[in-house]
Structure formats: C-alpha cells, structure tokens
Amino acid sequence: MRRNAGLFVAISLLSGFGSSAMSLVAGIWILDLTGSTGLAALAGLCVYAPVLAGPWLGGLLDRASRRSLVMAVNLALAAALLSLLTVRGPGQTWLIFLVSCAYGVSYVLIDAGETALLPSALSPAELGDVNGWRSSAQEGMKLVAPLAGAGLYAWRGGHAVVLLSAAMPVLVALLYAAVRLKQTPPDLPTERRRGLRAGLAVLLAQRATRVTVALAAVSIAMSGFTTAANYAIVTGTLGLPTTFIGVLFSAQGAGSIVGGLIVGRLITRWGPVTVGVAGTTLFAVSCLVRCLPWWPGTVAASVAAGIGLPWALVAAVTAVQTHTPTAVLGRVAGTANTAMFGPIVLAIPLGSAAVQLGDRPTLVVAAAICLASAIGVAYRPARRVRVPARREESRSLQG
C-alpha cells in the first residue's frame, strides 16, 4: 500500500474514533445534566442537520487550498471541543449543542474535502480501493469507539472524553500535512455559478455520477426508514430482549468492514454503476430476509445490509471523484453528500410512523423501493448518444 493511501486510511481511523466516541458521549452527557431524553436526542440532530448545507459549504473548497482548509477545519474543531472543558452543570448544556453543530459542519467540509483531495493524491486505479479501505476503517471505529468513549466517560467523566476527542483532529491535521499532492491544473476555467445549481449541474451531467448518487441516496434513506421496523422485529416478531439490537449493530458493522475491503476490486472490474446496483439490491434482499421469524436470518440480513450500504456509498463517491472536473470537485462532493445523506433526516421519522402499520410492511416497502431503483438503472436502455464529457460538463457550467 502506497504512502498516501496509508495516510488516508490512518486519517479515517483517527477521525472515526474521535467523532464516534464524542457523538455518543454528547447525548449521555446532556441526559446526565438535564435528565431529558428529548434533549439528548437533539444532539444527534445537531450533528446531521448541517449536511443540508453541503452544496454551499463544499463551494468553500473550490475557492481555497483544499488541504489548508481541511487542516484548518480540524484544528478549529479541536478548539471547539476544548471549550467543553468549561461545562460544569445544566447551565452550560447549550455549549454541548453548539459543539455538536460544529461537529456537523466539520463533517460536511472534511468529507467533501477528502473526496476532493483524493484524486490529487492517488491514481484513478487506486481510488476505489482506498475509498473502500477508508469505509472499513470508519466502520471499524464505530464498533470500538462508542464502547471506549462510554467507558472513559463512566470512569473519568465528560472532560476526559473531550481531551481524547480533541487530540484526534490535531493528529489528523498533521497527517494531512504529510500527504503528497500532485499539482493538477483545473479541468475548466473558474465558473461563476455557485451553490446548489453549480453542484447539481455537474452531478447530473454524467450518468455515472447521477445514477450512483441516486442509488446511494435511496439505500441510505431506506436504512433510516427501516430503523424502527428493525427494533419492532427484534422485540415483537422474534420476542428477543432489546439488547439483541446490539448484536445486529455489530453484525452490520462486521459486514461493512468486509464490504469496504472488497468494494474497490469490484469497482475496478465492473464499474461504479454496476457496484451501486449490486449494493442497493443486496440491501433490498436484507430487508426481505428480516421479515422471516428466524433470528439467525435477521443476523445474516444485518451482515448483508452492512455489505450493501458501503458498496452503494463507495461506488457513488468514486464516481464523483473520477467524473468531476477538478475545479468544482469540492462543491460537487458537497452536493453529492447532501443528496445521499439529506433524505435520511425525513426517512427516519417517516419510518417511525409507518411501523405503526406493521414492521413487515415497512420492510417490504423499503425493499420494493430499492429493487425498483436498482432494476430501473440496470435495465434502462440508452436513448441518446452522449455528448463527450468535457463538452457536456463545460456547457453545464457555462449555461
């Protein structure tokens, strides 16, 4: 594995550990300070809400040095985390919410920044593999970091977790400084259009990007839509204790690690569109298997979902990296992140309402939507001759 690839995987490990540990502890800390489960849940909403501003935040990456901006965001995040050392009682709870929002903004900028930086640090043949390895690293930290963060919180309190989490973005910034970037001139002249329109114009110009991002958006949204149904299956249909949900999360995490390790080879062999279709189909199958009143099948379905979701996501990210002009890669990556993760904000409450009609109907609806999307992409005939990529992208930016 080359030097830059190793650095990016290490970055994913460190950032994944710090964010996963702190995101869990923030909710626990608020609950301990206020006794309100509703307020504790709002901490998670603060983290995810900034993804809706992805097209505009991503545009910052196209108007500044991407590496410098990502390093600055990490250092600013560390400073924001250290402000939590002043939290002593319920009166400072607002500060935890504010830092949670800062975490959300940093996620958007750093995710888009890494997506934009990778093509300048790696060859096109390496992108799929490294994106998959990064996904495996992040999923692995989701298995380890929450337990470590909760244990440290129980032992030494919230301030100890703050110090540990603040150290992670500082180390990440140092690793970014060590990455060797190629000098790649912009593919197109600097364009005037900004924000959502500019990102969408480029994202929709190429079939590979619009199709894979759409498949990832459907898969991720349906994973949120089925969250409540999964809980109902465990406690109702299977009659198991709620702690069994932890087993399913671990099984899905294990599947995500495996899926991330092999997705790069699949993309190299079959292309991102085919892998995106396969990932969405696999997630649909996992929804149907969950309908069976058999707990080993539910565990197997969790593993399958863990494999399918990273396939769809990594396929979309790789397609964006390889089919987007360098000059606008930051805002296109931000727009893609919003398209992929924004719908889950609505899908989760819709799924919570739909489960009142039954857990299995909710899972069947999710599977049907995923399968319809995958089949629509796989069997849609080419209706017109595509304009050469450079000319089409140029028109989309100049129009």
pLDDT of residue 149: 86
Residue-wise pLDDT tens digits, 7-23: 999 999 999 898 888 88
User: Which of 131, 298, 338, 83 lies closest to 214 in space, CA to CA?
Assistant: 338
Instruction: Please tell me the pTM assigned to this model.
Output: 0.80
What digits encode the pLDDT tens for the residues 72-121?
A: 999 999 999 999 999 999 999 999 999 999 988 998 898 888 888 888 88
pLDDT at 183: 59
Residues of the chain with pLDDT under 70: 1, 37-38, 41, 183-196, 198, 243, 381-399
Contact criterion met (CB below 8 Å) for 310 and 259: yes
Q: Which alpha helices (H) appear in the chain, and where do they start and end?
A: 3-34, 37-48, 54-60, 66-82, 93-121, 124-156, 158-178, 195-205, 207-225, 227-232, 244-270, 272-290, 295-323, 329-341, 344-354, 359-378, 389-398
pLDDT number for residue 54: 81
* Contact call for residues 222 and 312 (beta carbons, < 8 A): no
Q: How many CB atoms lie within 10 A of CB 236?
A: 13
User: What's the confidence (pLDDT) of residue 104?
Assistant: 87
List, in order, residues 6 or more apart from 19 with CB less than 8 Å away: 103, 107, 145, 165, 168
Residue 41, pLDDT score: 65
Quick one: pLDDT at residue 201? 85
Task: Give dist(CA 255, CA 128) in Å, integer.
Answer: 18
Please give the pLDDT value at position 307: 96
How many Å apart are CA 262 and CA 10, to the nearest integer? 18
Tokens of 122: 């790696």
